[in-house]
Amino acid sequence: MFFGYEAGKFTQTGTTNIAIGSLSLRDNVSGGFNLAIGYGAMEHNTVSTNIGIGAYSLRYNQSGNYNLCLGYSAGYGTSGFNCEKNVFIGANAGKNIKTGGENTAIGYSTMSAGTITGYSNTAIGSAAAGNITSAYYNVAIGKFAMLSNQTGWSNTIIGTFAAQGTSGNSIAYNTIIGYEAAKSITTGQSNVVIGYQAAKTQITSESNKLYIANSDTDKPLIYGEFDNNTVKFHNVCLLYTSDAADEL
């Protein structure tokens, strides 16, 4: 069922498709079970079981299945788009997807700026994980959360501006929770940061650090170094060796 100028124009053997809007599902030849609603929605789609709702949504999908895109230019894609099992909700969400799979982006311009080849990322919030390219296994929740991470992996970032970083960074294995927590991080790995503005400017390329604080301070309530088995409580140092840990 096709409604609109050149909607479903080149369909030959594809069945059970619905296209509503000019140019929607235009180049589909044999793909089936697709739903395209909006001007240019899924215009170059040639495969099956995709949903694109919103002008230009999933526009360049050519060989990926099981994608759901809702919003203007959500999952717009690039030439040669080949990805599967993505969910993009919000204007420009996942806009430059190319080969990445199993990504979930919810919010305006989430996961939108980089050419996405990464997989299994979850981003919720305006521009969260906005510059991801080949990154994978990341969770970013909050406006601008993990904005600048491009290639890093296995991070859990929760909070507005948390781990925002600077352009072109790569971080890995970090757990960062709180408004502006570790905001300046660029290449740090295996850090745990908890609290409002905790380690906002203290962590950039540092790794294996523990910060628990409720302000941007170099004397957090709890500071630790995982690689040295060191913990400081309000700047009082306690060093636990393996033997001491066994006695506790």
CA angle 109, 156, 240 (to 5 degrees): 155
pLDDT at 30: 87
3-state SS class at 99:
coil
pLDDT at 64: 86
Nearest to 6 by CA among 22, 19, 29: 22
The pLDDT-based confidence of 238 (bands split at 50, 70, 90) is low
pLDDT at 80: 66
Question: What is this structure's pTM?
Answer: 0.91
The pLDDT-based confidence of 239 (bands split at 50, 70, 90) is low
88 φ/ψ sector (left φ>0, alpha ψ -120 to 50, else beta): beta
DSSP-based helix, strand, coil % in the chain, nearest 5? 0, 25, 75
pLDDT at 240: 62
Q: Is the model's pLDDT at 174 over the cut of 90? A: yes
The pLDDT-based confidence of 244 (bands split at 50, 70, 90) is very low
